[in-house]
Structure 1
Amino acid sequence: MSKDELIKFAQDQLARWKEKANGPDPEYSAFARGKIPFFEALLAGASDTPQPWEQLGLLDAVNDTFQKLGKVSSGDTFYKLPAEES
């Protein structure tokens, strides 16, 4: 996945979940609202957009988890890896 594809994915996911966040089912709406902060943070991180510290912390926590699981090498950042393919 290229950097541009990752950005498009984050944009599409944001649009999808923002639309569902105020739906008739309160549990599903809450589920949708839970996804929005991650995709906002991912979009900002992948786009190299300045972001609030909370977003950076969220991405860093996910990155630390991926590193611990062996999915991302130590020293790498999961949302920056696609940049090498762009």
Structure 2
Amino acid sequence: MVLFAGIYLSLSASDPGNFSEPLSRIGSLYFTVVTFGTVGFGDIHPASDVGRMIASAQIILDLVFIGLIVRVILGASKRTLESGAQKG
């Protein structure tokens, strides 16, 4: 998340028109967290094609990350259930 917050901060610093408002460090982290959480309040949003492409890349990577976490948790649960069934 910090990586994307840094990217958004740099993008906003290079051209404040890339977002609906200029981003501070806190604003860029806030936008990253809101995007990761799929909340999408809409108070801050990308206003340029570059900003939209980076936000889209973050969303795709976030979905992959969430999928991997779910897979790890389900795999661990399955192994726990299987080892419990073998003992019982």
- TM-score scaled by length of structure 2: 0.31
| Larger radius of gyration between Structure 1 and Structure 2 | 2
Bigger helix share: 2
Q: Under a length normalisation based on structure 1, what TM-score does the superposition of the two structures give?
A: 0.31
